[in-house]
Amino acid sequence: MTATTQHVTDALDAARSLTGLIEAEAEAAELAGTMTRPVVDALHEAGLFGLMVPRALGGTEADIGTCLEVFEALAWADGSTGWSHMANATAGAMAAVFTGDEAVEKIFGTGAAMPVIAGMFGPVGSAELVDDGYVATGRYGFASGSGHATWISAGTLVVRDGEFVAAKDGLPEMRVVFVPRDHVEFLGNWDVMGLQGTGSYDYALSEEHVDAAFTFPLVEAVAHRGGPVYGFGVLGITSAGHAGFALGVGKRALDEVLRIVAGKARLGAAPVRDQQLFQYELGYQDAALRAARALVFESFATVEADLIAGRDPGEVARQRLRQTTTYATRIAAEVVRFAYTWAGSTALRQPSVLGRCFRDMHAATQHVFVDNNTLTDAGILRLSAAAPPP
């Protein structure tokens, strides 16, 4: 076993070793609206905030399969913890790889604990272009993992003299900026049905000056450091986070319903575990989740193999990452619905792991990253790649 392989194996083992602590803190995280300090400290100690940060900067630089498994394991323990961590880990990777040297030295070169990055990449703010950088302004939402973050990101549209600046494709340039936590005004407003413990607060920037090195173009991001895994780009890295989360919550829901029905019988009916309809649906949902998981890992492994070999994976393979992530999210939501329904009032009463799975998974389906348009785009791409009819 190579040193790199050992390092990556340790990351997955560390994630699994935290299951008990994360489960014990899950209810407190929901009440607090953010990840609790014991869990934050444990993730730091395990090095998991640096899961996707290059080794040269003190991170693990894990292969994509290991990243998926770590995200899955943490989400299995608790959806909010898994979601917060994947948001921090993926944002940290992008700050480490796509920004300039000055930013990396400032953010990652302090010798302190691994920095934790949070924020919203969606370009809902503006960045006025000035001689030495940008002046960013905007109000944002959904800064998952921001309760314990040290740096905050924000998506912007670049403007000059009141006009949008065009990117290479002719559309307005979208640019992500990174600022220290204490330069951000947090607005709270995380009152939601699911993913309650993610600290996905609203926040605002007001005419914040940001040096160019602390930014990167969202659509045209170029990896300045690290290995082949960063060739996945912004969309591919983000896809890994969402896919791993969905698989983890879906698996936990199946495991929970199996535990519950072991001793559950409704009045006047056979025990749930002995009912043929339950047995059929269990077999179906188990197969669906396993199939979705296999598709996710196959799709990411295909792209990773091309990147390692120095090949361009191509548009179809890259789009398939979005397609399979949305598909896995839809399948996981159906699995959770099945488990919640058959658990009956056991899942309704709080606190309930299965009730939390239901709320967290259905909150995740509302994220724009797994919007139905990702499946439509995949269909359009398949049609364009197919041979024309005779």
228-385: in CATH 1.20.140.10: yes
DSSP one-letter string for 147-181: GG-SEEEEEEEEEETTEEPB-TTSSBPEEEEEEEG
Tell me, what's the pLDDT at 188?
93
Buried b (16+ CB within 10 A) or exposed e, 345-373: ebbeeeebbbbbbbbbbbbbbebebbeee
Secondary structure of 11-73 in HEC code, one letter for each residue: HHHHHHHCHHHHHHHHHHHHHHCCCCHHHHHHHHHCCHHHCCCCHHHCCCCCCHHHHHHHHHH
Question: Which residue spans of the chain are classified as CATH 2.40.110.10?
Answer: 117-217
Tell me, what's the pLDDT at 299?
98
pLDDT tens track, the chain, 390 positions: 344 444 556 899 999 999 999 999 999 999 999 999 999 999 999 999 999 999 999 999 999 999 999 999 999 999 999 999 999 999 999 999 999 999 999 999 877 789 999 999 999 999 999 998 999 999 999 999 999 999 999 999 999 999 999 998 899 999 999 999 999 999 999 999 999 999 999 999 999 999 999 999 999 999 999 999 999 999 999 999 999 999 999 999 999 999 999 887 777 688 999 999 999 999 999 999 999 999 999 999 999 999 999 999 999 999 999 999 999 999 999 999 999 999 999 999 989 999 999 999 999 999 999 999 999 999 999 898 876 666
| Alpha helical stretches, state H, the chain | 3-17, 19-32, 37-45, 64-77, 79-98, 101-108, 233-261, 276-308, 315-343, 345-348, 353-364, 373-385
Is 215:175 a contact under the CB 8 Å cutoff?
yes
Is 261:275 a contact under the CB 8 Å cutoff?
no
- Enter the DSSP assignment of 367: S
DSSP one-letter string for 172-192: BPEEEEEEEGGGSEEEE----
Question: Which residue spans of the chain are classified as CATH 1.10.540.10?
Answer: 3-108
Q: For the domain with range 3-108, which CATH number is right: 2.40.110.10, 1.10.540.10, 3.30.70.2740, 3.40.630.30? A: 1.10.540.10
Secondary structure (3-state) at 387: coil
CA end-to-end span of the chain: 53
CA distance 242 to 366: 12
CA distance 265 to 274: 9
Q: Is the peptide bond before 351 cis (omega within 30 degrees of 0)?
A: yes
**Residue at 325: amino acid letter:** T
Q: How far is the CA of 130 from the CAs of 68, 136, 220, in angstroms?
A: 40, 11, 20
CA distance 116 to 113: 9
Tell me, what's the pLDDT at 111?
73
Tell me, what's the pLDDT at 9?
63
Q: Which CATH class is domain 117-217?
A: mainly beta
Question: Which residue spans of the chain are classified as CATH 1.20.140.10?
Answer: 228-385
CA distance 247 to 124: 29
Tell me, what's the pLDDT at 252?
98
